[in-house]
Amino acid sequence: MMRQLVAVLLLVFPAGAQTDPPAPPAAPAALVFEGKPLKVPVSCTEEDIQSLGMSCSADSPCPVYLELSGLEVLGARMNLAGNLHTDSATLSSIVLTSDDSGRTWTESHPRIRQAALDQMQFADLATGWISGQVIASLPRDPFFLVTNDGGKTWRQRAVFSDPHLGSIEKFHFTSANEGRVLVDRAQSGEGGRYALLESKTGGDSWSIQQITTAPPPVKFDRVPSAAWRLHANGATKAHQVERREGGKWTTVASFQVQAGMCAPAEIELAPPPEPSAAPAAAGADPAHADAVEVFQIGGGKPAKKPDPKKKKR
User: Strand ranges (DSSP E) for 37-174?
Assistant: 62-74, 77-85, 90-98, 104-107, 115-122, 128-135, 139-147, 155-158, 167-173
CA distance from start to end of the chain: 79
How much is the pLDDT for 91?
Answer: 95
For 111, the enclosing helix (H) or strand (E) is: none
Q: Look at residues 125, 220, 126 and name the one whose alpha carbon lies nearest to residue 168.
A: 220
Q: Is 61 exposed, middle or buried (0-12, 13-18, 19+ CB in 10 A)?
A: middle
Backbone φ, ψ for residue 195 (5° rounding): -120, 125
How much is the pLDDT for 11?
Answer: 45
pTM above 0.85, yes or no: no
How much is the pLDDT for 306?
Answer: 53
Greatest Cα pair distance, the chain, in angstroms, is: 123
Do the bridges between strand 139-147 and strand 238-245 make them parallel or antiparallel, or are there none, so unpaired?
unpaired
How much is the pLDDT for 15?
Answer: 44
In whole angstroms, give the CA distance from residue 203 to residue 123: 12
How much is the pLDDT for 103?
Answer: 97
Question: Is residue 251 within 8 Å of 30, Cβ to Cβ?
Answer: no
In whole angstroms, give the CA distance from residue 176 to residue 169: 20
Domain ranges of the chain: 28-262
Question: Is residue 152 within 8 Å of 167, Cβ to Cβ?
Answer: no
pLDDT in tens, the chain (313 residues): 444 544 443 444 444 444 454 455 567 889 999 999 999 999 888 888 898 889 898 899 999 999 999 999 999 999 999 999 999 999 999 999 999 999 999 999 999 999 999 999 999 999 999 999 999 888 999 999 999 999 999 999 999 999 989 999 999 999 999 999 999 988 765 778 999 999 999 999 999 999 999 989 888 877 888 899 999 999 999 999 999 999 899 999 999 999 999 988 765 556 677 776 655 555 555 555 454 444 444 444 555 555 555 544 4
How much is the pLDDT for 280?
Answer: 54
In the chain, alpha helices (H): 2-12, 46-51
In whole angstroms, give the CA distance from residue 135 to residue 54: 14
